[in-house]
Amino acid sequence: MPQKVAIIGTGQTKHAAKRTDVNIRELVNEAVTRALIDAEVQLDEIDAIMIGNMEPFEGFMFPEHWAVEGWGGYLKPSVKFNTGGTVGTTTIAASYYYIAAGIYDTVLAIGFEKQSDGHTQTAITTVGDPVWERTMMAGAVGNFALMASTFIAEGGVTDEHAAKVAVKARHNGARNVNAHLQMPDLKVEDVMKSELLSWPVRKLDMCPQSDGAVAVVLTADHLAKKRCARPAWIRAVTTAHEQQYMGDSPKRLAVMRSQTAASRRLYKMVGITNPRKELDVAEIYEVASWAELAMYQNLGFCEPGEAGKLIDEGVTLMGGELPVNPSGGVLCTNPIGATAMIRVAEAALQVMGKAGEHQVPNVKTALATGYGGNAWTDAMILSASF
Amino acid sequence: MTSGVAIVGVAQTCYEAAKDHLAYNELVYEVVAKLLRETGVKMADIHSQITASQDMFDGKTISSMSVNEVVGGYLKSEAKVAADGLQAALYGAARILSGSFEYTLITAHAKESESRRPAVTVSMFDPFTQRPLGLHDAISSGLQAERYLHVSGVTEENMAELSRRRHLDAKKNPLAQRAGDFTTKQILESPQMAGPLREMMVSPSSDGACAVLLASAERASAFGKRAVWITGTGNCTDAYWTERDLAEARALELAAAKAYKAAGIRNPAKELDVAEISARCAFEEPMYADALQLFDGDPRAWIRQSAKGEGIAVNPSGGAITGNPTSVAGLTRLAEAYLQVSGQAGEHQVAGARTALAHAADGICGQGHTVVVLRGNSGN
Amino acid sequence: MAKTDEVIRVPFLMKMEYRYALGAYASRFFQELKDHGRLFGIRCPECERVYIPPRPVCGICFVETGEWVPVSDEGVLVGATVVRLPFIDPMTGERRPVPYGMGIIRLDGASTAMYHFVDETDDAKLKVGRRVKARIRANRKGNMRDIECFELVD
- Average pLDDT of the residues in A27-40: 98
Partner A contacted by C12 (CB < 8 A): yes
Q: 10 Å Cβ neighbour count for C11?
A: 5
* Chain B positions with Cβ closer than 8 Å to C: 19-26, 29, 33, 43-44, 56, 59, 69-70, 72-74, 111, 113-116, 119-120, 123, 127-128, 131
Query: Residue B143, SS3?
Result: helix
The pLDDT assigned to A23 comes to: 93
Q: Is the pLDDT of residue C4 over 80?
A: no
Partner C contacted by A274 (CB < 8 A): no
- Average pLDDT of the residues in A65-70: 92
Nearest to B25 among C55, C60, C62 (CB): C55
Residues of C whose CB is below 8 A from A60 = none
Q: How far is Cα B209 from Cα B29, in angstroms, rounded to an integer?
A: 9
Q: Is the pLDDT of residue B202 over 90?
A: yes
Partner A contacted by B362 (CB < 8 A): yes
CB contact under 8 A, C83 and A243: no
Query: Does A135-207+236-383 carry CATH code 3.40.50.720?
Result: no
Q: How far is Cα A380 from Cα A370, in angstroms, rounded to an integer?
A: 9
Instruction: Please provide residue B373's backbone torsions phi and psi, each rounded to the nearest 5 degrees.
Output: -110, 130
CB contact under 8 A, B238 and A239: no
Q: 10 Å Cβ neighbour count for B149?
A: 18
Residues of A whose CB is below 8 A from B368 = 65, 78
Disruptive mutation site among A60, A69, A82, A90 for chain B (greatest number of B CBs within 10 Å): A82
Burial of B120 (0-12, 13-18, 19+ CB in 10 A): buried
Interaxial angle between packed helices A87-100 and B85-97, expressed in degrees from 0 to 180 and rounded to the nearest 10: 60
Query: Residue B324, SS3?
Result: coil
Which tens digits make up the pLDDT trace of C69-100? 999 999 999 999 999 988 777 777 788 888 99
Q: How far is Cα A358 from Cα A350, in angstroms, rounded to an integer?
A: 9
DSSP letter string over A13-68?
PPPBS--TTS-HHHHHHHHHHHHHHHHT--GGG--EEEEE--HHHHT-SSHHHHTH
Residues of B whose CB is below 8 A from A244 = 25, 65-66, 68-70
Terminal-residue alpha carbon distance, chain C:
72
> How many Cα atoms are found within 13 Å in the side-chain-facing hemisphere of A260?
14
CB contact under 8 A, B75 and A258: yes
Partner A contacted by B327 (CB < 8 A): no
Task: Say if CB B61 and CB A123 are below 8 A apart.
Answer: yes
Q: How far is Cα B356 from Cα B277, in angstroms, rounded to an integer?
A: 11
Instruction: Please provide residue B175's backbone torsions phi and psi, each rounded to the nearest 5 degrees.
Output: -90, -10
B197-198 and A365-372 as β-strands: parallel, antiparallel, unpaired? unpaired
- Average pLDDT of the residues in A259-279: 98
Query: Residue B217, SS3?
Result: helix
Which tens digits make up the pLDDT trace of A167-206? 999 999 999 999 999 999 999 999 999 999 999 999 999 9
Residue of B nearest to C59 (CA): B69
CA Rg, chain B, in Å? 19
How far are the Cα atoms of A23, A25, B374, C6, C9 from residue C3, in angstroms, in the given order?
19, 22, 57, 9, 18
Please report the ipTM that was assigned to this predicted complex.
0.97
The pLDDT assigned to B352 comes to: 95
Query: Does B5-115+205-223 carry CATH code 3.40.47.10?
Result: yes
**CATH number of A5-119+210-227, picked from 3.40.47.10, 3.40.50.10420, 3.40.50.1820, 3.40.1440.10:** 3.40.47.10
**In sequence order, what E strands does C17-145 have?**
39-43, 50-51, 57-58, 63-64, 68-71, 74-83, 100-107, 114-118, 131-136
Q: How far is Cα B108 from Cα B320, in angstroms, rounded to an integer?
A: 15
The pLDDT assigned to B1 comes to: 38
Partner A contacted by C108 (CB < 8 A): no
Measured at the CA of A13, the angle between CA A12 and CA A18, to 5 degrees, comes to 145
Domain layout of chain C by residue ranges: 23-152
Residues of B numbered 122-161 whose beta carbons fall under 8 angstroms of chain A's beta carbons: which are they?
A: 123-128
Cis peptide before C53 (omega within 30 of 0): yes
Indicate the helix (H) or strand (E) that contains B311: none
Nearest chain C CA: its distance from B50 CA (Å): 16
Q: How many CB pairs under 8 A join A and B?
A: 184
Q: How far is Cα B78 from Cα B105, in angstroms, rounded to an integer?
A: 9
Taking alpha carbons only, the member of B203, B190, B209, B164 closest to residue B320 is B203
Amino acid of residue B88: A
pLDDT more than 70, % of chain A: 100
Q: 10 Å Cβ neighbour count for A194?
A: 17
CB contact under 8 A, A100 and B123: no
Q: How far is Cα C151 from Cα B119, in angstroms, rounded to an integer?
A: 40
Q: How far is CA A298 from the centre of its chain?
A: 16
Residues of B whose CB is below 8 A from C21 = 19-23, 111, 114
CB contact under 8 A, B22 and C21: yes
The pLDDT assigned to B378 comes to: 60
Q: How far is Cα A114 from Cα A294, in angstroms, rounded to an integer?
A: 28
Per-chain mean pLDDT for chain A: 95
Indicate the helix (H) or strand (E) that contains A325: none
Nearest to B235 among A77, A93, A238 (CB): A77
pLDDT more than 70, % of chain B: 99
- Average pLDDT of the residues in B238-256: 97
Burial of C18 (0-12, 13-18, 19+ CB in 10 A): middle
Q: How far is CA C39 from the centre of its chain?
A: 13
Query: Residue B81, SS3?
Result: strand
Of A129-133, B99-103, B239-243, the one with minimum mean pLDDT is A129-133
CB contact under 8 A, A241 and B87: no
Nearest chain C CA: its distance from B175 CA (Å): 21
Label residue B380 by pLDDT band (50, 70, 90).
very low
Partner C contacted by A55 (CB < 8 A): no
Disruptive mutation site among A125, A245, A246 for chain C (greatest number of C CBs within 10 Å): A245
Task: Say if CB A341 and CB A331 are below 8 A apart.
Answer: no
Terminal-residue alpha carbon distance, chain A:
15
Label residue C7 by pLDDT band (50, 70, 90).
confident
Taking alpha carbons only, the member of A301, A356, A349 closest to residue A323 is A301
Q: How far is Cα B266 from Cα B269, in angstroms, rounded to an integer?
A: 9
Disruptive mutation site among B25, B36, B120 for chain C (greatest number of C CBs within 10 Å): B25
Label residue B229 by pLDDT band (50, 70, 90).
very high
Alpha helices in A153-256 (DSSP H): 159-173, 188-193, 221-227
The pLDDT assigned to B2 comes to: 47
Q: Is the pLDDT of residue B273 over 90?
A: yes
Task: Say if CB A8 and CB A217 are below 8 A apart.
Answer: yes
Which tens digits make up the pLDDT trace of B112-158? 999 999 999 999 999 999 999 999 999 999 999 999 999 999 999 99
Label residue B379 by pLDDT band (50, 70, 90).
very low
Interaxial angle between packed helices B85-97 and B329-341, expressed in degrees from 0 to 180 and rounded to the nearest 10: 60
Alpha helices in B243-298 (DSSP H): 250-263, 268-271, 284-291
How far are the Cα atoms of A303, B221, B241, B297, B380 from residue B294, in angstroms, in the given order?
63, 32, 24, 10, 23
Q: Which of the other chains make 3 or more beta carbon contacts under 8 angstroms with chain B?
A: A, C
Terminal-residue alpha carbon distance, chain B:
20
Which tens digits make up the pLDDT trace of C113-152? 999 999 999 999 999 999 999 999 999 999 999 999 999 9
Cis peptide before C99 (omega within 30 of 0): yes
The pLDDT assigned to B330 comes to: 98
Q: How far is Cα B105 from Cα B86, in angstroms, rounded to an integer?
A: 12
CB contact under 8 A, C89 and A145: no
A106-114 and A211-220 as β-strands: parallel, antiparallel, unpaired? antiparallel
Residues of C numbered 19-58 whose beta carbons fall under 8 angstroms of chain B's beta carbons: which are they?
A: 19-26, 55-57
Q: 10 Å Cβ neighbour count for A175?
A: 18
CB contact under 8 A, B113 and C19: yes
Indicate the helix (H) or strand (E) that contains B318: none
Residue of A nearest to C83 (CA): A198
Task: Say if CB B57 and CB B112 are below 8 A apart.
Answer: yes
Which tens digits make up the pLDDT trace of A220-251? 999 999 999 999 999 999 999 999 999 998 78
CB contact under 8 A, C57 and B29: yes
Torsion of CA C119, C125, C128, C134, to 10 degrees: -20
Amino acid of residue C120: E
Q: B266-303: string of b/e by CB count within 10 Å (b at 16+)?
A: eebbebbbbbbbbbbbbbbbbbbbbbbbbbeeebbebb
Q: How far is Cα A285 from Cα A287, in angstroms, rounded to an integer?
A: 6
The pLDDT assigned to A1 comes to: 82
